[in-house]
């Protein structure tokens, strides 16, 4: 069995092979080089005052621990490939290549802008990681083809990806009320999930009709 019998080729998913290694390398450097880590960390208080604007993007390149890093890298690799594939299927390779990296940037920056708005007066708050991109990709992949059939061993009512999207949304909303998970940026995850979902519906307009059909 060959490597590309299991994994996509570079042509099928270029950004999985570009973005994930960059995140891995930067995060590993950040684990051992604190000055590098602090140069990339998101600090909404400073951003709101016109400083460190670059960290709206660069904070996605560093992580606090290996679990955080590996989870995001696995999700970004897999769902990044899925995004590129479905865009290619619907609109061709040029749109797929341009669209995928553009959406990547949006799913990193927009959730960070939102949390900057809400945390702009909190001097102690900082954030790192590519979780915004990861959860944005979850939302996007669920609603790009809302009628795609799927199932769940846990939730028997799940019959398509719209149902799976609803389960994900409910779980993320409920997690925002769990006070014990203070180290997890739950509000960012929810915001990114919704942004990714909206992007999918905007790009493929028929998804809105299909989502309605899946629900009713």
Average of per-residue pLDDT across 102-110: 97
The mean pLDDT of the chain is 93
Is residue 216 within 8 A of residue 140, CB to CB? The reply is no
List beta partners, residue 149: 160
Asked which of 37-41, 156-160, 191-195 is least confident by mean pLDDT, the reply is 156-160
d(C-alpha 8, C-alpha 79), whole Å: 12
- Which pLDDT score, from 0 to 100, does residue 148 have? 94
Of 70, 12, 61, whose CA–CA distance to 33 is shortest? 61
Is residue 115 within 8 A of residue 127, CB to CB? The reply is yes
- Which pLDDT score, from 0 to 100, does residue 128 have? 95
- What pLDDT band is residue 7 in, cutting at 50, 70 and 90? confident
- Which pLDDT score, from 0 to 100, does residue 176 have? 87
List beta partners, residue 160: 149
Is residue 38 within 8 A of residue 96, CB to CB? The reply is no
SS3 content of the chain, % helix, strand, coil (to 5): 70, 0, 30
Q: Which two tokens stand for residue 24?
A: 């891995």
Domains in the chain with CATH codes: 11-215 (1.20.1540.10)
* pLDDT tens string 42-90: 999 999 999 999 999 999 999 999 999 999 999 999 999 999 999 999 9
- Which pLDDT score, from 0 to 100, does residue 178 have? 79
- Which pLDDT score, from 0 to 100, does residue 98 have? 97
Helix or strand or coil: residue 193? helix
Whether the per-residue pLDDT at 2 is higher than 70: the answer is no
d(C-alpha 145, C-alpha 163), whole Å: 12
């Amino acid at each position: 069995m060959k490597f590309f019998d299991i994994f996509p080729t570079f042509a099928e998913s270029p950004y999985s092979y570009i973005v994930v290694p960059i995140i891995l390398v930067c995060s590993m450097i950040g684990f051992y080089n604190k000055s590098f880590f602090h140069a990339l960390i998101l600090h909404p208080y400073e951003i709101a005052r016109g400083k460190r604007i670059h960290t709206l993007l660069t904070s996605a390149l560093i992580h606090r621990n290996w679990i955080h890093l590996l989870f995001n890298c696995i999700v970004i690799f897999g769902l990044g490939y899925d995004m590129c594939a479905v865009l290619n299927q619907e609109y061709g390779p040029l749109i797929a290549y341009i669209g995928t990296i553009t959406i990547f940037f949006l799913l990193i920056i927009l959730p960070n802008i939102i949390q900057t708005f809400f945390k702009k007066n909190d001097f102690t708050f900082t954030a790192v990681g590519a979780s915004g991109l990861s959860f944005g990709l979850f939302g996007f992949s669920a609603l790009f083809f809302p009628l795609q059939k799927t199932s769940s061993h846990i939730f028997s009512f799940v019959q398509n990806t719209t149902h799976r999207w609803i389960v994900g949304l409910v779980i993320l909303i409920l997690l925002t009320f769990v006070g014990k998970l203070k180290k997890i940026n739950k509000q960012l995850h929810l915001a990114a999930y919704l942004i990714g979902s909206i992007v999918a519906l905007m790009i493929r307009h028929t998804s809105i009709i299909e989502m309605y059909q899946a629900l009713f």
